[in-house]
Amino acid sequence: MFFFKRVYALGACLLLPTILWAQKVENVVSAFDGQRVVITYDLIHSDSARKFAVQVFSSADDFLRPLAHVTGAVGLAVKPGRALKIIWSVRQELPPDFDKDIRYKIKATLVPLTGEKVKSTLSKKESTTTVFATETNQLFTLTAPIACRRGKKYEVHWSGTNPNDPIRFELYDAANAQKIIGRAQGSENSWQWEVPPAIKTGRYTLKVIFNTKTMDAVTQPLHIRHKTPFVVKILPLAAAGAALLLIGNKTGNAPLPGPINPN
């Protein structure tokens, strides 16, 4: 029997350029009537003419893919406003025997204007960049590391692709020399890259082509570093040097042996 123990919002997020301000998602409220979940929220932004891509994720698949059976103030052309409503047909989305607590997230991403990128740094280790492909009406979001160490593995995540879309990963060095480092399908939503141990350190550009028909792509800088940080390498040498110094002091300060007595 289909039954929800609890339905509640886990959080809401908004991806925007740092040059804009006075924007937020707030007053997120939900209710379940036995057939559907009705979510209301406020989308506040300083420019009421801008459009947002609004997606809803649930804990049913660990927030991996946006919900498909949703209508209302959701999709690629949602304008700011108050008491916006999303209707989620949960019986179409979830199996009939689902009986767990359900949590959901609302993600609102500013749809870039022509030639504009929406870049939001999530942490010191990775960043998220969003571009809008007008010809295919795709909003592509890429989350990738901003620094990698040789010989280690890193994951690249994306959203906004169709399941059959081929994804291509290219790496460009300072001389703009290109190398294809991986391929994936749009349905996978993630790709793991093992940085070659012999690759030269330095600054590169990671380019991810998400629509090979029109060559729509997103790029971001990538810094490749040594496998072991320099400070970690130098510390053992410094410790060894200190040990030799202590041994040398101990030997130098010891009294010299007396003459040998032939008797």
pLDDT in tens, 237-256: 555 555 555 555 544 454 54
pTM comes to 0.62
pLDDT in tens, 105-140: 898 888 887 667 777 776 778 888 888 887 777 888
pLDDT at 84: 96
CB neighbourhood size of 166 (10 A)? 14
pLDDT at 41: 94
* Sheet containing 52-58: order of strands: 7-15, 102-110, 52-58, 75-78
Domains and CATH numbers, the chain: 7-110 (2.60.40), 118-225 (2.60.40.2950)
Which parts of the chain have pLDDT scores under 50? 1-2, 16-22, 250-252, 254, 256-260, 262-263
Q: Is 245 exposed, middle or buried (0-12, 13-18, 19+ CB in 10 A)?
A: exposed
Q: How far apart are CA 242 and CA 146, in angstroms?
A: 36
